[in-house]
Amino acid sequence: MTILVVEDEASIREVEVAYLTEAGYTVIEATDGPRAVAIFRQESPDLVVLDLNLPGMDGLDVCQAMRRDTTVPILMVTARNGDEDEVKGLEIGADDYIRKPFNPNILVARVNTLLRRQASKQLHFEGLTIDPKTMTVIKDGKKVSLTTTRFKLLLALASQPNVVFSRSQLVDQIYDDVSDHFVYDRTIDAHIKTLRQEIETDPRSPRYIETVIGSGYRFRGTA
């Protein structure tokens, strides 16, 4: 897994990098806010260790910019003493907070915990990650934008891999009130066709969503 460490103080950054590398992580570094956002979008790390006081762009603004793109865990680090920044950081999307000076072993433990927590929320398949809480889908490391309906359809299928769902069962799963919609079998078929175009490498030979002739659809894979 890859960790992005954002810290402008070289001595602190070196310690963070050394301990995280020793723990088995691949570590990439940034020393200012704008560079951190650019690297984050380019490299798609699994977690960010983010200092609050940064040149060029405040850590809170960096956190907010990152949250527009993804839901990866963000561990915020600061030397500030007040609780106000901690509360604000958590409100805008930071997952945890640690104050300087800190024990590097505690930093690694926090990182491990956040990554375990993140993994437990998600459905992982080969090449595909589905996050029910944030309605996020990652295909081969890249975010896939789905409509709410198609996300619900994918989640319904992927939550029970290898189980065959009829079209009527899928209608019940993805629509809160069927009476408000003119929903037919071909509506589900149309959503499946579009969903395959969005998540399958070759929609004509789908890897994930299989048609079961005469019955409906099923998601192939092991979570």
Q: Per-residue pLDDT tens for 23-42?
A: 999 999 999 999 999 999 88
The pLDDT of residue 180: 44
The pLDDT of residue 81: 66
Architecture of domain 123-219: Orthogonal Bundle (1.10)
All CATH 3.40.50.2300 domain ranges of the chain, comma separated, are 2-121
Other C-beta atoms lying within 10 Å of the C-beta of residue 50: 26
Listed as ranges, residues in the chain with pLDDT below 70 are 69, 80-82, 85, 120, 133, 176-185, 223
**Pairing state of beta strands 209-212 and 123-125?**
unpaired
Reported CATH class of domain 2-121: alpha beta
Comparing C-alpha atoms, which of 15, 21, 22 is closest to residue 2?
21
Cα separation of 166 and 16, whole Å?
Answer: 51
Asked if 77 contacts 51 with a C-beta cutoff of 8 angstroms, the reply is: yes
**Pairing state of beta strands 47-51 and 74-78?**
parallel
Comparing C-alpha atoms, which of 22, 24, 4 is closest to residue 13?
4
Asked if 165 contacts 217 with a C-beta cutoff of 8 angstroms, the reply is: yes
> In 53-159, where do the E strands start and end?
74-78, 96-99, 123-125, 128-131, 136-139, 142-144
Q: How far is CA 115 from CA 22, 110, 118, 130, 170, in A?
A: 16, 9, 5, 15, 32
Give the helix/strand (H/E) hosting 90.
helix 84-91
Asked if 66 contacts 48 with a C-beta cutoff of 8 angstroms, the reply is: yes
Asked if 132 contacts 64 with a C-beta cutoff of 8 angstroms, the reply is: no
All CATH 1.10.10.10 domain ranges of the chain, comma separated, are 123-219
Instruction: For residue 62, give every residue at least 6 positions away whose Cβ sits within 8 Å of its Cβ, in sequence order, or none.
Output: 6, 33, 36, 37, 50, 54
The pLDDT of residue 223: 60
